[in-house]
Amino acid sequence: MNSFKAFFKQRGLYLVCLALLLVATITGVVAIRSVVRNVADLTESRQKALEEDAAWNQPDTIVTNPAEDVPVQTPGPVPLPSAQPSESPASSSAQQPSGAVSGDGAGSGASAASSAALSISPADTEPVQMFSGSELVYNETLGDWRTHNGADYAAETGDKVHAVAAGKVLTTAEDPLWGTVAEIQTPEGGTWRYCGLDKAQVKAGDEVRQGDVLGTVGTIPSENDGQTHLHLEYLDGDGNYQDPEKMK
């Protein structure tokens, strides 16, 4: 026992220093491991943040299909330089073969019946698609929702188109959405638009009567999905679209 105490008296200081060194070593190891763990966590968090930032900064994908839930207002025909008509109603009548019906409906017998089968007169025809007003309808051709600013009348390509009302021809022009468009202003100040003509037989400045032939039915680029038809619009004196069926 005495030797043990003597050992501690001689070596006690060294043992205390050794113990303190061991404690310091253990504490340092724990601290280093904590720092390494924190650095690893910080690096992982930074990596995730960079990945999320990269995802947000990706360029927008080009949409090739139109969105079906985004309403679009139907644009009216865009006037282009007036197309030169092939002939006026008077000259057309003069060049018609014997027995054919003229633009004002003259004719008789079998020839009159044959012409009626090859004509479209919106004034006496029910539309296959009505004027929608402010209500949006789905356009199969364009693949979107928009207002239908006119009325559609079923016809065959090449059918003669008769004027709904008398008036003065403002213009006949090609429109990218509506094909050949003839605009006729009535004495009251309203304007009829005959959209989708193939050949216009009138020109700007011509006076037409109700029933005169304006041209023949062609195609409508913005409404070419389905039955061939004539698209008819009416704008009042203030430029507002009205239901053509109520204005006939």
pLDDT-above-90 percentage for the chain: 48
Task: Give CA–CA dist 111/75, Å, rounded.
Answer: 40
Residue 94 has pLDDT above 70, yes or no: no
- For residue 192, give every residue at least 6 positions away whose Cβ sits within 8 Å of its Cβ, in sequence order, or none: 163, 164, 165, 167, 183, 184, 185, 186, 232, 233, 234, 244
Residue 60 has pLDDT above 80, yes or no: no
Q: What band does 2 get if pLDDT is binned at 50, 70 and 90? A: low
Residue 226 has pLDDT above 50, yes or no: yes
Q: With contact defined as beta carbons under 8 Å apart, do 128 and 152 qualify? A: yes
Q: Mean pLDDT of all residues in the chain? A: 76
Q: What band does 123 get if pLDDT is binned at 50, 70 and 90? A: confident
49 vs 77, residue with greater confidence: 49
Q: What pLDDT does residue 147 have?
A: 97
77 vs 103, residue with greater confidence: 77
Place of tokens 């008398």: 166
The pLDDT tens digits of the residues spanning 147-186 come to 999 999 999 999 999 999 999 999 999 999 999 999 999 9
Residue 40 has pLDDT above 50, yes or no: yes
